[in-house]
Each structure stands twice: as C-alpha cells, then as structure tokens.
Amino acid sequence: MKISARLLTSLLLLTAITRADYDLLIKNGRVFTGASVNAPLVTADIGITGDRIVALAPHLTEPAQRTINAAGLVVSPGFIDLHAHIENLPEDRAAQSALRQGVTLVLGNPDGGGPADLKALTTKLETAGGFGPNAAYLIGHNSVRTQIMGMENRAPTADELQAMAALVATAMGDGAFGLSTGLLYLPGTFSNFDEVVALAKVAGRLGGIYTSHLRKEGLGLIDGVEEAIKIGEQAKIPVILTHHKAVGTKMWGASEKTLALVDTARARGIDVMMDQYPYTATSTSLRVLIPSWAVAGYANGISSHFAARLKDPAQRAKIEGEIAFNILNDRGGGDLSRIQFSRFGWKPELAGKTMRDWALAEDREPTVPTGVDLVIQGELHGGATCIYHVLAEEDVERIMRHPQTMIASDGRLSQPGKDHPHPRAYGTFPRVLGEYVRERKTITLEQALFKMTGQPAQRLGLTDRGFIAIGAFADLVLLDPATVAAKSTFEDPHHYPVGIPFVIVNGRLAYDETGYHDIRAGRILHGPSYTIVTPQPAAEAPEKISDR
C-alpha cells in the first residue's frame, strides 16, 4: 500500500512536470493578425497545440513543451505566395527556397501551366513523403487546351470547348482554387477572348478565381489589362492581374494607366486585384522573343515546324523582323545586356551571363541582328530561360503602393548551385520587407504584411489561414523588422534571406535558430468546390467539405 501511494505520488509529480498546456508558446512578440491592413501590431503571446493556435493574449503563463522568446520580433501569419512555380515540388519537397522566406502556403499552376490532372498530382504529393509548405493549385488553361487541342493555332470547335470546360470543372471538383491563363505562351496565345470567358465562367460558377498572365505585358499592355478585366466582367469571376508590370522602356510609366483601369473597373463593381514581385527584371523563356505563329506546332519543347519555317526565306525574314522588333521594343529592352541567361541546356556555361556576353564570346558585334541570330540558334538548340532587365523602379513602387496589389514571387523552387535563378525565388518576401518597407519606405510594414497574408487569404476564400486568431492553423513567421533582407541577387542568386529566425507550418517548426528542419508539415489545401466522392454506398451524394 505504502509503495503504491509513493508510486502514485511520483507519477502525479511527473505528470505535473511534463504536463504542458501548449506544444509551442511564442512569448513577447509584436503580433500582426492579418485581419486588415489597419491591424496594429500588438504585443501578445501565442499558444499552439497540435496544428492550431489555441491561445492569443498578453502574458500567457501556462506551461509549454517549447517556448520561443519573440521579444523584438514581429509575429505574422505565414506568407501566402499566389504565384508559385512549384512544378518541381514532387522532386524538391523540402522547398526551402520558399519556406525560408516565411512562405507557408504556395499557389501552384500559374500562367496556364502545370498538370491538368490535379487529383493525380495531389495524390502523389500526399502519399509519398510529404512536403514543406502548404500547397494549393489552380487549373492551367494551357494544360487543358493542350490536352484537348494539342498546339493547334485556331479557335476550338464546340465539342472541344465543351471538353475543355469539363476538364476545368473536374479540376475544380478536385480542389482547384480557380483558373490560370498564360495568354502570352503556347498554346494559350492561340485562344480568343470567348474561349477564355467560357472556361472562366465554369471556374467562377464553382467559386474560383481567375488569375491572368496577360496576353501582352509590353507595347500591348493596356489591351492586355482591358481584356483580363473584360473576361472577369463577362465570366463574373474575381480577376488577378498576376505579376503586374510594364515591360520595355517604351512602356515605362504605363502602370499609371493600368492602375487607373483597375480603379475604374472596381468602381463599376468588377472584382480586380493584382500581385507583384519586387524586382525590375522578369524571367521567362527565350521563346518569348519569337512570334508565337512561328513556333506553333510545338510538342515537348521541340519544334520541327519552327525549323521548317526558317528554311523558307520569306518566312525567315518575317520571323527575324519580329524578333528584332521584340528585342528593340519589348522584352529585349533594346540592349543585349538586358537579356541574362538563367537556364540554358545547350550552353550551361552561359547561366548568369548575358546575350551580349555570348555575342562577344563569339567575336560578334553585340547588335540587334546578332541578337536575332542568337535567339534563333538558342531556340533551335532546346531553348533557354532568361532574366529580362526591362522594368522601371518607378512602376514597381507605384504598383506596390496600390491597395489591391498583393505580393507573389513567380519564383521557381530553387536549390543552391542549380542553374542561375531569378533572385525572386529566394528573396521576394524579405526584399519587400527590407528594401521597400525599411529602406525606401514605399509602404508600411503593416501594409506589406497584409499584402502577404490576410489579403491573399481573403482572395482565396480562406478563413483559417493567413490570420492569427484562436482556432486558426498555426502557420507563422517570426521576423526581425530591423534586419530582414533578401540576400539573393541577379549576379549571385543562391542565397537564403536573413532576419527570419522562425518559420512554423501547421504548428511545427520548419526553421529555427538551429537551422532548417525537414519536417514536411505541408498539406494540400482544397478549393471552394472540392468534393469527396464517398465510395460506398453508390447512391450517396458527394460530400462537401468546408475545411480548405
């Protein structure tokens, strides 16, 4: 009896010592809740149990398994990246280049791309080993069109349009958050306004958003913006003008006009927003300099059609003329040194170097005609990804200041030493906080954080992520506003940011003072029309779930 009582006492004592109200307690931080742009920073403690925030108040005293002293730090909801090139997430599951910026949710399949079969993609991610950040997906128009029409340069037949609409509807049921288009790219560039409206209607009816890589971002920018707004109006779907910018020296300053178009449309009740990366260079394929009609017929990146058209002198002259025009007026920026190679399979040694460097290395004058020839040679040898230094700082700042602009990276998941990525892959979010908030004072810290958290969460219809509140998922980032900065540059991109000492995904520390932890706590988030088809009994209707 005596022994039992003693045993009981020690057991009770042990329980008292190890009993913890929270798995994680974050103390003394200045909390930005994400609820609105005007939410002031308030000093408060945050208690986390499992994957949720369970307490939010000053001076929480209950015991915790682990306590972080966040004095001097800002505690924000984890950042949401609305334009994330996570096509390689199945290979780069850690996704450190996103996580270490504080990004806890990535929205994939932008620009009309990514796999059309979302169910296969998300099942693969969920069943084999996990992944770092939470992931959500759009359904890409280019993928849908390719599946039904290949690379045909024409409008769809009624049957083809119906088949594309069915694919969009299926993807929405599989959890897509909306439709993305890349109207500058193949084969989206072959689609007309009515086709996009028809597909956007399907996504809109099912609660989705429409995010548009505009048909033109250079000389045709105004037309591109007007088209996207009109698509939103006719399809009755919220629109995001993604990675909004004005490309090419001739268009610098045009953001004044595009933002006015957005304001006018919003005043008419059309729901238009934007996202943006904080850099004066874009990154996309080399092929963007080639007229799309010349590369029609592409399959798997190899165009025998392009080579054949070049053999015809009349067609070749036309192709060369249009490439020269694009180098002078559009993404080429009128100067071969503005075109920098990011990934170039044929000449990997040129990664980081410019088109001018390539010309000089071949003892050629770095002129536009030389550039035309190199573009053609590069494309015939498998193409390349380039960084185009063709944006004006003035436009970047003006777009950033607009209250309807959110922050998004357009970055590809990157790993140190691989290729020569645009620095946005590592630095988008910290660069906004360090360069544009602290140094230039373009926007306030609260404005910046809202553009990265609550605002995109609201856009996606999320109520339990993007905010710090009791019951919300514990996706959090702790940052030091005095030191947060991007370290990735155009010359030397493979650097993680500084001033972001803690990143938490679903209640688990993905990054802390001891470094990165490969916990892969990310989850697939499902969009507004996600349905689980219950296998038994057959007659039962699909169950709708509200958790996304």
Can you give the binding site for Zn ion, defined by CB under 5 A? 110-111, 410
Long-range own/partner contacts, residues 57-60 (CB < 8 A, 24 or more apart): 60/22, 60/25, 60/27
| C-beta of residue 22 within 8 angstroms of C-beta of residue 55 | yes
The count of residues in the chain is 548
Q: Residue 376 CB, nearest distance to Zn ion (Å)?
A: 24
Nearer to Zn ion, 110 or 378 (CB): 110
Nearer to Zn ion, 110 or 497 (CB): 110
| CB count in 10 Å sphere of residue 240 | 30
| CB count in 10 Å sphere of residue 375 | 28
Strand partners, 504: 476, 509
H or E stretch at 121? helix 118-127
Question: Residue 67: is it exposed, middle or buried by C-beta count within 10 angstroms (0-12/13-18/19+)?
Answer: middle
Structure tokens at 458: 């609201």
Q: Residue 107 CB, nearest distance to Zn ion (Å)?
A: 11
CA distance 511 to 188: 39
Nearer to Zn ion, 224 or 297 (CB): 224
**What one-character DSSP code corresponds to residue 35?**
S
Q: Residue 409 CB, nearest distance to Zn ion (Å)?
A: 9
Q: Residue 460 CB, nearest distance to Zn ion (Å)?
A: 17
Q: Residue 51 CB, nearest distance to Zn ion (Å)?
A: 30
Nearer to Zn ion, 389 or 508 (CB): 389
Nearer to Zn ion, 45 or 330 (CB): 330
Q: Residue 488 CB, nearest distance to Zn ion (Å)?
A: 17
CA distance 420 to 353: 9
The separation between CA 442 and the C-alpha centre of its own chain, rounded to angstroms, equals: 22
Q: Which residues contact 433 (CB under 8 A, 6 or more apart)?
A: 445, 448, 479, 481, 484, 485, 499
CA distance 5 to 13: 12
Q: Residue 430 CB, nearest distance to Zn ion (Å)?
A: 19
Q: Residue 140 CB, nearest distance to Zn ion (Å)?
A: 11
Q: Residue 426 CB, nearest distance to Zn ion (Å)?
A: 16
Pairing of strands 42-49, 52-57: antiparallel
Nearer to Zn ion, 111 or 330 (CB): 111
Q: Residue 408 CB, nearest distance to Zn ion (Å)?
A: 9
CA distance 271 to 236: 9
Nearer to Zn ion, 98 or 510 (CB): 98
Residue 351's SS3 state is: coil
Nearer to Zn ion, 110 or 175 (CB): 110
Nearer to Zn ion, 45 or 111 (CB): 111
Nearer to Zn ion, 110 or 507 (CB): 110
Q: Residue 243 CB, nearest distance to Zn ion (Å)?
A: 6
Structure tokens at 496: 């993680």
Pairing of strands 64-69, 22-31: parallel
Q: Residue 214 CB, nearest distance to Zn ion (Å)?
A: 12
Q: Which residues contact 271 (CB under 8 A, 6 or more apart)?
A: 232, 238, 239
One-letter amino acid at 397 equals: E
Nearer to Zn ion, 385 or 529 (CB): 385
Cα separation of the two ends of the chain? 54
CA distance 350 to 345: 9
Q: Residue 88 CB, nearest distance to Zn ion (Å)?
A: 13
Nearer to Zn ion, 45 or 275 (CB): 275
Question: Residue 32: is it exposed, middle or buried by C-beta count within 10 angstroms (0-12/13-18/19+)?
Answer: buried
Structure tokens at 483: 């030191």
Q: Residue 111 CB, nearest distance to Zn ion (Å)?
A: 4
Nearer to Zn ion, 400 or 437 (CB): 400
Q: Which residues contact 215 (CB under 8 A, 6 or more apart)?
A: 183, 184, 189, 223, 224, 227
Nearer to Zn ion, 29 or 187 (CB): 187
Pairing of strands 502-505, 531-532: unpaired
Structure tokens at 228: 């996207």
